[in-house]
Structure 1
Amino acid sequence: MDMTVAPAEQEAGSGGWPWELPAGWCWTYLGELGAWTGGGTPSKANKSFWSNGTVPWVSPKDMKADIIGDTEDKITIDAVENSSAKYVRIASVLMVLRSGILRHSFPVAVTDRIVTLNQDLRALTPFEGIDPTFVARYLKFATKRVLEDCSKDGTTVNSIEVSALERLPFPLAPLPEQHRVVNRLDALFTEISEGEAALAEARKGLETFHRALLKAAVTGELTRDWREKNKPVKTGHDLLARIKAERAAQTSKGRRKRMQDTEPLNTTDLPELPEGWAWALVADVGSVQLGRQRAPQHHQGENMHPYLRVANVFENRIDLNDVKEMNFSPAELETFELTPGDILLNEGQTPDLLGRSAMWRSAERGFCFQNTLLRFRAIEPLEPEFCLLVFRHYLHAKRFKRESQITTNIAHLSSGRFSTIEFPVPPIEEQKEIVRLTQHGLASAADTRILLDSQLSDAARLHQAILKSAFEGTLVPQDPADEPASVVLAHLKAAPSRATIPRRGRKRAVRE
């Protein structure tokens, strides 16, 4: 780009500028549009700067809206008069120049009152003839260019170089057209926002459907009609009796360790189950195993195996993108190796995510699990997919949370507490029908969610397309009667002085 040519003198669309502009527009630089003001942070140690403050003090955390008015933090007039803080006029454009958020976005807002800034922000107060919202909208459109061309190297926190930002090419329209563009953008973005809000509500509806479907599945409501037409030969009670008898036979033959005795399940406060269903304990219908603890001596050895941890187990999904290894002896491998149908649950998590579960479906051998996970292995002929539905319902119903023990903000679900949680047992035929119906419903919901996500992405792309049209001069019609932007710039250059921002002064600030 030819930075030596005065913008107001260079013809629109000539070599070096990003794109050709319509008649009446001209290219200039952001730094030519107004007066710049930096931020400052009054000393926190000086209470007179902060106690009962009335002047809004803007920091990056406040830059989430398009319009900045009141703020959580306020400083006193004494702070403005006796610190590095400066007043920023109404209708100034605020920009975050130093923050981790600059990795992916460039927060910009317009003030609707006099404010002050912290040291990570900078303000541009446009001269007469420049619409501040027009400037802010363009900076939103040019976010990618700002982050790529104006980023400062060599700092630990992402930052924007002021001098590079001031050299950012800016397409200036005649002032009346600036207003028309801003009004049209506001109208279009309002429509898009309403659409995005409707999509967000639809997603909430899907989440509600998701939870309701899981609840209906494990309470028998989902298969109410099916039960009227299909009377199972074997009930849930028969299934539990069969499991108990087979376990006892295997224990007597030494093929299985003797299960630890548990207190009989008290069903007094439990909801009534459909006919043919039975209540049991988790320990009655499967084996529970806590994973192997990590230790330095296991970091290397002759029997290294991949193992899963909390970071790998999501609801109904296991992520194998980041799997670590540790040494498992042959005996340990026999205990901790995963087999298809095993269900893994988060043993340690934030309370609301405790017990998040997924099934290991792979036939690949040698994968184990860490002690931040519990493994549940259903006893045949119990349907493992049905068991997973029960645990997913318990996650959303906060059932696991009620059994948790919290240490340093992390909730834990011990194998003992998990083993004694109630478990509904339908007849085998009904378990299979529940799985079929639920998987069909969840798959339909997943397809709908993909469609909604696609529409949200389309809305974001539409947003950028509208901005592109606005600043290429095709969003609203041009009016030949409008004073050309180049004339406005020429007037600004010829003015004997330009407005400055008052640094101090109580009365002066109020008048602004």
Structure 2
Amino acid sequence: MDAWTPNSAGLAQDEPWELPEGWAWVPLKMLSNFIGRGRGPTYVEAGGVPVVNQKCIRWHRLEPRHLKLTSRDAFDRLPPELYIRAGDLLWNSTGTGTIGRALIYDGSIAELTVDSHVTIVRPSSIDPAYLGHFVETSRVQHLVVDGHVGSTNQQELPRSFVEELIVPLAPLAEQRRIVARIDGLFAEIAEGEAALEEARRGLDTFRRAVLKAAVTGELTKDWRERNPVAETGHDLVARMRGSMSKNKRLRTAWTPRTDLPELPDTWAWCAVHEAGDVQLGRQRAPQHHTGAHMRPYLRVANVLEDRLDLSDVKLMNFTPEEFETFALKAGDVLLNEGQAPDLLGRPAMYRGEIEGCCFQKTLLRFRASELVDENFALLVFRHYMHSGRFKRESRITTNIGHLTQVRFVEMEFPIPPPAEVAVILRRVSEALAASADTLAMLDAEAADAARLKQSILKAAFEGHLVPQDPADEPASAMLARLRAANPPVARIRRGRRKTVSEKAKS
């Protein structure tokens, strides 16, 4: 075997770090008997062979619920190298956020292949689990993400990079000791991560309980017992209805359903359209992409729960007349009209962040009346999202729920006494602030766990995690055998295999 020199795959000419005695830097192509991507499959609904895609690949595990199926005939036509085997490294090779994620396949599914976005590495002269841990290191992940762009201007992992990636090859016996030690330490960390995740779920339950208590009166039950009010929710609803025109009262007459939750005596139900004005956003269409009155507008992607993401705000033409209808004002609550059913109605408040901003048809705008606090309205709508109230009111099309304006305006809206609203908002703010502090602490601990994992991997591949054993066969001896055999990396044949039926005919 000739001395190996890094090529144009983007790796540094120098070895990344000094290795212990008995180790060696070796390109991955010399440690594998196949490296290649899958094919773009023809999918079927049932009766086919599973195909692994990017969503299926998680660190250290395969997510079977995302598997798709290709036809038996198409599978039989694949080159045999694309039949996945136990010990194969499956490596996501395209896509922001998914590129670089990998797993070692455990052979749990008898027949399996991958699509064209996944690279197969079939180790032959290295422990598969050792290789799997190496590609998880921050150094390899940074190399994967940085500077690899494909023909579609998307992140892509070239085959040349995979082949020329240099691996710190420890003696085989030491590789196995390293894997055992990493697995043991990662198992301990996983227990802590599971506890953090359980705490997160507990916080989520707590936040939902706070929202429910806030809009049903439970949160301020003690306050009501000590504080009689001069104006009740019933008085407030009467005032709201009294301020409507006679025509609007007749047109929008509303009677509460008999199955609504019971409210405190001083609270009252009204309809959403009585509590405020509701407007659906303007339809996005090609004729509005240019014009003399281009204005920023918000869409579903900008409206998260209780916050706006303004990192990507688009422009659309709104005439002065349209601007009068679709302009946002500070205090407006925006709700997702079309969304995954569990996120339907996701609300956030616009607080005047962008001057002259409008909104798209995928959003509903609720503008509270003068007698309703917009911050309390936001709490009501957050509770409706989490409790599934919006979902029950929706119509579902192709897994997307729609909260139509017609249905939304007729939904129930709780009205507490004005004096009680101020107490509710203060208590909710305090409770959710404490929850946010706890969540920040959990996030910090999760980040510590991730950093600890990377520290363990760094120590492992620098030769510091387990002691070296002079009795181990050095990597150089294995390399000598490779020099003698010098097996080339397998490449996919461009021909095809005969199907079972074709073989029978021949």
Deviations 1:252-310 (A, max 9, x none): 8xxxx845532331342122211211111222222223334445555555544333332
The alpha-carbon distance between structure 1 residues 212 and 481, as it changes in their structure 2 partners (threshold 3 A), is: same
- Aligned with residue 99 of structure 2, among 101, 104, 110: 104
Kindly indicate whether residue 220 of structure 2 is the aligned counterpart of residue 207 of structure 1. no
Aligned residue runs from structure 1 range 241-256, under 5 A:
241-245=238-242, 247-248=243-244, 251=245
Matching residue's letter, 1:136: G
Structure 1 residue matching 2:219: 3-state secondary structure: coil
1:87/1:115 contact within 8 Å kept = no
CA distance in 1, matches of 2:410, 2:136: 55
Partner in structure 2 of residue 310 of structure 1: 300
Greater radius of gyration (CA): 1
CA distance in 1, matches of 2:267, 2:188: 51
Deviations 1:325-344 (A, max 9, x none): 44444444444332222222
- Aligned with residue 355 of structure 1, among 345, 353, 365: 345
The alpha-carbon distance between structure 1 residues 85 and 485, as it changes in their structure 2 partners (threshold 3 A), is: closer
The alpha-carbon distance between structure 1 residues 152 and 306, as it changes in their structure 2 partners (threshold 3 A), is: closer
Deviations 1:196-226 (A, max 9, x none): 2222222111211111111000011111111
Aligned residues, how many? 479
Structure 2 residue matching 1:434: 3-state secondary structure: helix
Structure 2 residue matching 1:358: 3-state secondary structure: strand
Deviations 1:303-326 (A, max 9, x none): 443333323222211233333344
Shift of 1:374: 2.3
Matching residue's letter, 1:105: G
1:383/1:432 contact within 8 Å kept = no
Aligned residue runs from structure 1 range 3-14, under 5 A:
5=3
Q: Percent identity among equivalent residues?
A: 48
- Bigger shift: residues 179-188 or 37-46: 37-46
The alpha-carbon distance between structure 1 residues 75 and 463, as it changes in their structure 2 partners (threshold 3 A), is: farther
Structure 2: stretches of 5+ with no match in the other structure? 6-12, 498-506
Partner in structure 1 of residue 9 of structure 2: none
Kindly indicate whether residue 184 of structure 2 is the aligned counterpart of residue 190 of structure 1. no
- Aligned with residue 466 of structure 1, among 444, 450, 456: 456
CA distance in 2, matches of 1:19, 1:259: 78
- Bigger shift: residues 439-448 or 476-485: 476-485
Partner in structure 2 of residue 26 of structure 1: 24
Partner in structure 1 of residue 89 of structure 2: 94
Structure 2 residue matching 1:223: 3-state secondary structure: helix
Partner in structure 2 of residue 228 of structure 1: 225
- Aligned with residue 129 of structure 2, among 133, 138, 160: 133
Aligned residue runs from structure 1 range 260-279, under 5 A:
261-279=251-269
1:343/1:375 contact within 8 Å kept = yes
2:145/2:155 contact within 8 Å kept = no
Matching residue's letter, 1:372: T
Matching residue's letter, 2:121: A
- Aligned with residue 377 of structure 1, among 346, 358, 367: 367
Shift of 1:87: 8.1
Return the TM-score normalized by structure 1. Answer: 0.79
CA distance in 2, matches of 1:258, 1:69: 54
What's the C-alpha RMSD, in Å, of the aligned pairs?
4.0
CA distance in 2, matches of 1:324, 1:59: 32
Kindly indicate whether residue 435 of structure 2 is the aligned counterpart of residue 445 of structure 1. yes
CA distance in 1, matches of 2:260, 2:310: 38
CA distance in 2, matches of 1:33, 1:348: 50
Deviations 1:158-180 (A, max 9, x none): 55444443332221222332121
- Aligned with residue 66 of structure 1, among 60, 65, 90: 60
Shift of 1:5: 2.7
Structure 2 residue matching 1:306: 3-state secondary structure: strand
Deviations 1:438-489 (A, max 9, x none): 1111122222222222222222222222111100011112223333322333
CA distance in 2, matches of 1:212, 1:69: 32
CA distance in 2, matches of 1:16, 1:446: 46
- Aligned with residue 433 of structure 1, among 423, 442, 445: 423
Structure 1 residue matching 2:448: 3-state secondary structure: helix
2:51/2:115 contact within 8 Å kept = no
Kindly indicate whether residue 413 of structure 2 is the aligned counterpart of residue 415 of structure 1. no
CA distance in 2, matches of 1:76, 1:89: 15
Shift of 1:72: 7.6
CA distance in 2, matches of 1:69, 1:230: 55
Return the TM-score normalized by structure 2. Answer: 0.80
The alpha-carbon distance between structure 1 residues 206 and 494, as it changes in their structure 2 partners (threshold 3 A), is: same
- Aligned with residue 321 of structure 1, among 308, 311, 315: 311
